[in-house]
Structure 1
Amino acid sequence: MVLLVVIGGLLLAIGILGNAVMGAMDIFREKMTKDGSKTLLTAGIVVLTLMSNSAFAQDAVVTASPYFTRLSQTSFYLLLSVIVLELAVIISLLFLLRYLVGIKRKCKPKKVVAAGKPRISWWEKVNNTQTLDTAAEAGQNMGHNFDGIRELNNPTPPWWKWGFIFSICFGIVYFWRTEISHSAPSQIEELAMAEEKAAIAKEAYLKNAANNIDENNVTLLVDAGDITAGQKMFISNCAPCHGPQGQGVVGPNLTDDYWLHGGKINEVFKTIKYGVADKGMKSWQEDFSPKQLAQLASFIKSIHGSNPPNAKEPQGQKE
């Protein structure tokens, strides 16, 4: 819809510029008869400008990205190429009109404005307004006077009226597509789809982030769910060597202040991950994900100081 609106607006601009260029062609023909070679050269420059703009349009189409629209790639490129081509035509018409206006200024002297008749600027013509003198204001007076301020018959500019009409037409088409035919999603539906995509992307990010944990960036987990998950893994896999409460059996006691390979969270994580081959402890990195290793290490840190019964004597260095 946006691309079609842009195409329509550019077509309107092309029509206006084309009309202005056609009005200046008579002067161009007179100049051509007087200075054919110079005019021919200028016409060649204009043609080259059109060709360069067309080439620019082709380059722009090639570099356009279709990933921000639900249109097919062919439709997107087609609409985009029309827009770029229209821009090229507008630029070329502007160059041509500028040249023709320059001829008009050289060939025709400026008209002398009649005495007493105000000169209307191009801005006033576009807005359909005019600067009034004291005598002309009386004829445009609407009869509304408040505190010395009089209302004059100064209508709304045409471009504003057409913009207002266009907005109404756009609203009707938008309402029909979103609320009646349901051929396009409404803003609420677009928000819901965007939130759904964001939730999927967030889930994928968290999943990847959970598997990016190693001994350099691991942090102590304090969530009850993580501690419970670590406890289940500990009982199923570590209890034969360290006891179900971490009191130590073949392996050392994990609840006291003494550690053989370091008691910091990253050191415990590293010991579980790589194991200690010379003491019979296997590497668990092939059995558990990085997230699970962090949960297991956090559970071991959580039972520090629990003083279970039948605890094994301290081993290693105190920390």
Structure 2
Amino acid sequence: MKKLLTLMLILSSISANAAWAQSESSTWYTDLQAMDSGQLTLLIILAIVLGVILLLLILMVYLMSFMKAIIRKESPEKVQQASWWDKFKERFVTGKMDEAGGLAERKKMMADHSYDGITELDNFMPPWLQWVFTLSTVFAIIYFVHYSVLGTGKTGIEEYEEELRVEAIAAEQRQENMASSIDEDNVAFDSSEEAFSVGKSIFEVNCAACHANDGGGGVGPNLTDEYWIHGGSISDIFSVIKYGVVSKGMVPWEDQLTPLEIQQVSSYIMTLEGTTPANPKEPQGEIYSPEENSSEAEEVTEGTSGAVSL
């Protein structure tokens, strides 16, 4: 009867402990799900650190036992029993070199490789060197077949041409990015033939209706003389074309033309100055002189620098 009661108490204790463990595990799992990414990352790092510490402790215990075995000079059977690392090292790294015999045997080994009194000994080749030689040979065969026999690999010339093609695409993309970033602050006069040709075609299609094909003017002002209403620099012309002059009937062209096209047509308009149109319109605005404009800019710059220095 006592044994039966004792057994029942043990079973009830085990079931209670199991229920407590199950409730604890469910609470732990719920808490883990409720953690955010930062806390979960910290928990994983902590677990990794603890794992490393545990591994170091195991290695220390192993090292201590190994040192004790050396110090105590265990039995020959245990000392002679090689570990897995010793077996691996002997098979794949260092190898096992047979001990050479006497002097007569070594001379016999070198007798077949004697030339002019110079003897050659057939030295032991460790396994790692044999593996390097084998893998190098296999790689050389695959390389030769891949490039020279099958022709599936690219030659040096083909790789160079491919790099040139990739660089040409990258240069075109850079040029497009630079062209899209042109505005009235960094625009510059483009005197290339391509800019002249494109600018002329844009002018004839979009600007000739108001300024005439030769730039002599009509509804719009004359573009061949030295008089300008809004300034005659490349930046001024670019701004007028881009933003327009709504009060005088000129629409903005920034939605119809790209920044590069506005630069090209602006550069073409600057080449019209000094030409002789068939029916020029009377001058409008003020005379624009690049020299005066540059001197005024220098005066503004000097005045600004002087104010800063003070």
TM range (shorter): 0.5 to 0.7
Q: Is the 8 A contact 1:273 1:283 kept in 2?
A: yes
Q: Are 2:196 and 1:234 aligned?
A: no
* Pairing partner for 1:277 from 239, 246, 257: 246
* Pairing partner for 2:67 from 105, 114, 117: 105
Q: Deviations over 1:127-161 (max 9, x none)?
A: 999xxxxx9xx969876799xx9976655654333
* Percent identity of equivalent pairs: 36
- Which residues of structure 2 form unaligned runs of 5+? 1-40, 42-53, 74-88, 98-102, 290-310
Q: 1:298 maps to which residue?
A: 267
Matches within 5 A, 1:25-104: 100=62, 102-104=64-66
* Pairing partner for 2:137 from 168, 191, 196: 168
Q: CA 1:128–1:225 in 2, change beyond 3 Å: closer, same or farther? A: farther
Q: Which has the larger radius of gyration?
A: 2
Q: CA 1:250–1:270 in 2, change beyond 3 Å: closer, same or farther? A: same
Q: 1:224 maps to which residue?
A: 193
Q: Is the 8 A contact 2:231 2:288 kept in 1?
A: no
Q: Deviations over 1:45-103 (max 9, x none)?
A: xxxxxxxxxxxxxx9xxxxxxxxxxxxxxxxxxxxxxxxxxxxxxxx999977864553
Shift of 1:226: 1.2
Q: 2:153 maps to which residue?
A: 186
Q: Is the 8 A contact 1:145 1:151 kept in 2?
A: no
Q: CA 1:110–1:267 in 2, change beyond 3 Å: closer, same or farther? A: farther
Q: 2:16 maps to which residue?
A: none
TM-score between the two structures when normalised by the length of structure 2: 0.53
Q: Is the 8 A contact 1:128 1:155 kept in 2?
A: no
Shift of 1:298: 0.8
- Judge which range, 204-213 or 193-202, deviates more: 193-202
Amino acid corresponding to residue 232 of structure 2 in structure 1: G
RMSD (Å), alpha carbons: 4.4
TM-score between the two structures when normalised by the length of structure 1: 0.51
Shift of 1:169: 0.6
C-alpha separation in 1, matches of 2:55 and 2:153: 39
| Partner SS state of residue 203, structure 1 | helix
